[in-house]
Structure 1
Amino acid sequence: MCYNLKTSIGYQTNLVATTLKTSFTKLIQPRFGVAAEQFATLKIINEDSEVTQTQIAEILGKDKTTVGRSIDSLIKKGLLKRKGCFLDKRANRVYLTPKGLEVLEGANEIGHRYNEAIKSKLSDGEIEIYFKVLNTILSQSQNIELELGEK
């Protein structure tokens, strides 16, 4: 038995995710100056103004340091603003600036059109099966335990 990348669920899923992220970034970066993951960060913050950096990292499947650098970059671009938390002086919250909201709205429109273009190549049944399979893989992959003998 041999591990084969062409039949590896993990490898193929990552390849699709990377391709989608790269092509979406090519659509939004020239116009709005953000990459796909920065867009996702803006979207998460816009949907929940109380979200923490740790929660953003969990949602994106990234580590806190990477998310922190992304947030710092978005602040430098004038898309986010950091404010101290009134109740906890050690905590900081980030908020979209008017420019950030403008970028989010524009990139969101492109994201919607991009998603619809991809979905238009699939039937409703294929889309339903795709999400069902992804959800199964996601939930089951977190519970797999293997007995690995020494070789």
Structure 2
Amino acid sequence: MSYKLESSIGYQTNLVATILKTSFTKLIQPRFGIAAEQFATLKIINEEQDVTQTKIADLLGKDKTTVGRSIESLIKKGLLIREESVMDKRANRVFLTPEAKEILAGANKIGLQYNEALKEKISEKELEVYFKVLKTILQESKNIELNIERGK
């Protein structure tokens, strides 16, 4: 039995994720000057209390270095402000600027439209199964990774 991409869960999932991200970026980039991942970063910062770069990385499934570059880019665009944490001098906190809040509101509307348009093509039951399967894959992929590393 050989490993084929068309039957690979990882490949197919990544392909769908890449296409969704690219498509959403094409919708928001011209209007708001941000990509899909930057939108997600802004959204997390807006919704989470005292979020750290590590937590953002975990929520996005990215490494801290990649998230750090994204945060730097958003700071340069004037969408985030960095402040030293009063509690921990080693840590920095980031906050949305008023401009970022406007961009987030506009991009969020497009995100809702995009998501609703996709959901029109999928029944509620199919969507429920899809999310259940994704959750199982996410949980089990971590277990399988550990087992393979341990030689099981």
Q: The residue matched to 2:122 in structure 1 has which SS?
A: coil
**In structure 1, C-alpha distance between the alignment counterparts of 2:62 and 2:12, rounded to whole Å:** 19
Which runs of 5 or more structure 1 residues have no equivalent in the other structure? none
Q: Are 1:63 and 2:66 matched, yes or no?
A: no
User: Residue 59 of structure 2 aligns to which amino acid in structure 1?
Assistant: I
**In structure 2, C-alpha distance between the alignment counterparts of 1:41 and 1:125, rounded to whole Å:** 30
Q: Are 1:48 and 2:48 matched, yes or no?
A: yes
User: 1:45-98 deviations in whole A, cap 9, x for unaligned?
Assistant: 000140000110111111111100100000111110001111222211000000
Point out 4+ residue stretches in structure 1 off by more than 4 angstroms.
Answer: none
Q: Are 1:74 and 2:64 matched, yes or no?
A: no
Question: Pairwise mapping of residues 1-150 of structure 1 onto structure 2 (< 5 A)?
Answer: 1-144=1-144, 145-146=147-148
Q: Is the 8 A contact 1:44 1:56 kept in 2?
A: yes
User: Residue 105 of structure 1 aligns to which amino acid in structure 2?
Assistant: A
Q: The residue matched to 2:143 in structure 1 has which SS?
A: coil
Deviates more, 1:11-20 or 1:82-91: 82-91
Deviates more, 1:94-103 or 1:83-92: 83-92
**In structure 2, C-alpha distance between the alignment counterparts of 1:91 and 1:39, rounded to whole Å:** 23
**In structure 2, C-alpha distance between the alignment counterparts of 1:102 and 1:71, rounded to whole Å:** 18
User: Residue 143 of structure 2 aligns to which amino acid in structure 1?
Assistant: N
User: 1:100-151 deviations in whole A, cap 9, x for unaligned?
Assistant: 10011110010010000001100111101100111111111110124869xx
**In structure 1, C-alpha distance between the alignment counterparts of 2:31 and 2:113, rounded to whole Å:** 15
**In structure 1, C-alpha distance between the alignment counterparts of 2:10 and 2:84, rounded to whole Å:** 40
**In structure 2, C-alpha distance between the alignment counterparts of 1:27 and 1:111, rounded to whole Å:** 9
TM-score, L = length of structure 1: 0.95
**In structure 1, C-alpha distance between the alignment counterparts of 2:87 and 2:130, rounded to whole Å:** 44
Number of residue-to-residue matches in the alignment: 149
TM-score, L = length of structure 2: 0.94
User: 1:21-42 deviations in whole A, cap 9, x for unaligned?
Assistant: 0000000000000000000000
Q: Which has the higher helix share?
A: 2
**In structure 2, C-alpha distance between the alignment counterparts of 1:33 and 1:41, rounded to whole Å:** 14
Percent identity (aligned): 70
Q: The residue matched to 1:142 in structure 2 has which SS?
A: helix
**In structure 1, C-alpha distance between the alignment counterparts of 2:137 and 2:63, rounded to whole Å:** 21
**In structure 2, C-alpha distance between the alignment counterparts of 1:72 and 1:79, rounded to whole Å:** 10
**In structure 1, C-alpha distance between the alignment counterparts of 2:74 and 2:49, rounded to whole Å:** 15
